[in-house]
Amino acid sequence: MRGSASRAPVLDRPRTVIRVLLITDDPGVATRLDNTLLAADHAVERVPDARGGLDRALSREFDVIILDRGLRAGRGLELMRKLRRAQVLTPVIMLADGDVRDRVACLQAGADDCVDNLTESEELLARLRALYRRSPYRTGTVHLGAARVDVTRRLVIHEDGTRTSLTVQECAVIAVLGAEPGRVVSRARLQALVFPDRHAKSIVDTYVYHLRRKLGREVVTTVHSVGYRLGHVPVRLAGPASA
């Protein structure tokens, strides 16, 4: 009898559970996104106000934050700025209306992505997963050639076992560049994410200089008139730990 050989069953790959913090005071938006995220087997916690959202975001227990631009009294943008001032670099998707100026304002405040409130569920999930894949906070590590950065402890661990400590801002610059290795990040983008309260355009250049002094000139590559790209740490031949 033909076709008697049985096929092995195809096993579904386990889905990646992304931990999402949803900050919105709109019951309709909350219900729709709760249903979308839970149907995709993601873990979602909803907070209905800016203060609670900041407190939960500071816990750093989440992989991605979804923040509603329409929080009461314009607090969506205000909260976005506070998150970056507090050095919360968890990827953020902001929900806004269809106005281009509104979306630009969200990105300038430090959001990683911005979507229309009525964006289809499939697109929102795709954007969520893309941010999750790029985030160095997913593994807590940024790889730099002959060294790796422990983002949580702000330590550079070299191949020879020596360690170099980083300041909060230095580590944040590495984390932002490490989120998209190989891509150029503009000075304006780095400034919005890492130094939202500092208006001097030279602040990014200053911290890149500090990183190069600690880790070598190759750690950050300058792309003239555009911005910076993550580089690498060369093999250390000898020398004491610089921590």
Model confidence at 189: pLDDT above 60: yes
pLDDT at 92: 93
Domain annotation covers residue 42: yes
* 72: three-class secondary structure by DSSP: helix
pLDDT, tens digit, 9 for 90 and up, residues 90-130: 889 999 877 888 888 898 888 889 998 778 889 999 999 98
Tokens of residue 178, six digits: 């490490």
Taken as a whole, the chain contains a residue count of 243
Identify whether residues 42 and 123 lie together within a single domain: yes
The residue whose two tokens read 């909350």 is: 30
pLDDT at 167: 93
pLDDT at 137: 65
Q: Single out the residue of 17, 23, 19 nearest to residue 62, CA to CA.
A: 19
Work out the pLDDT band at 5, boundaries 50, 70, 90: very low
Identify whether residues 44 and 121 lie together within a single domain: yes
Identify whether residues 110 and 176 lie together within a single domain: no
Q: Which residues are CB-contacts of 132 (< 8 A; sequence separation ≥ 6)?
A: 16, 18, 63, 64, 91, 138
Domain annotation covers residue 8: no
* 112: three-class secondary structure by DSSP: coil
Identify whether residues 23 and 127 lie together within a single domain: yes
Identify whether residues 32 and 122 lie together within a single domain: yes
Q: What is d(CA 65, CA 83) in angstroms, rounded to the nearest whole number?
A: 11
Identify whether residues 23 and 125 lie together within a single domain: yes
Work out the pLDDT band at 243, boundaries 50, 70, 90: very low
Q: Which domain holds residue 223?
A: 140-230
Read off the CATH number of the domain in which 219 is found.
1.10.10.10
Mean pLDDT, to the nearest integer, of 4-21?
Answer: 58
Q: Which residues are CB-contacts of 137 (< 8 A; sequence separation ≥ 6)?
A: 60, 63, 89, 90, 91, 151, 175
Q: Which residues are CB-contacts of 65 (< 8 A; sequence separation ≥ 6)?
A: 20, 21, 22, 23, 53, 57, 83, 90, 91, 92, 93
Chain centre distance of CA 226:
21
Q: What is d(CA 19, CA 57) in angstroms, rounded to the nearest whole number?
A: 12
Number of domains making up the chain: 2
